[in-house]
Amino acid sequence: MKDLFTALGAQGEVILLLVINFIILFLILKKFLFGRVLEHLDNRRKEIQDTFSKIEEDKKQIARLSEEYQNKLQSIEREGYQKIQDAIKEGLSAKAQIISESHLQTDNILRKAREELELEKKKAMKELRNEIISLSISAAEKVISKQLDGETNSKIVSEFLQEVDKVK
C-alpha cells in the first residue's frame, strides 16, 4: 500500500495527519454539532408525532360527534313521527267523539220529534173524540128528539166509543 501512496505522490505522514485531523474534526463536530442537530431532529420528529397524534384524536372526536349527531337526528325523527302519530290518534278520537255526539243529538232530536208527534196524535185523537162525541150527541138528540142530561150523555158516548174501539 505504501507503494500505491508513493506512486500517487502522497506521503504517509501527511495521510496519517489527515486521518488524525479527520478524527479530531469528527469528535469536535460530534460533541458540538451532531448533538444539536440530532436533538433538533428528535424534537422535530416528536412534533410530527404529536401532530399526527392530535390529528388521530381529532378524527376520533369528529367520528364520535358525527355519531352523536346522527343519533340525535334519529331521535328527533322518531319524536316527530311519534308526535304526528299522536296527533292522528287524537284527531281520530275527536272525530269519533264528534260523530258519537252528533248521533246522540240526532237520536235526542228524533225522540223529541216522536214524542211531540205522539202528543199531537193524542191531542188530535182527543179532539176527534170530542168532535165525534159532539156529533154523536147531536145525532142522538135528533133521533131521540129530546135533550138528555150530562150524565146520560156521557154514558151514551162511552158506550159509543167502546163500540168504535171494538170496530178498530
Can you give the pTM of this predicted structure? 0.41
Quick check: 92 pLDDT over 80? yes
- 135 is written with which cell numbers? 156529533
Quick check: 158 pLDDT over 80? no
Give pLDDT tens digits for 25-84: 999 988 888 878 888 999 999 999 999 999 999 999 999 999 999 999 999 999 999 999
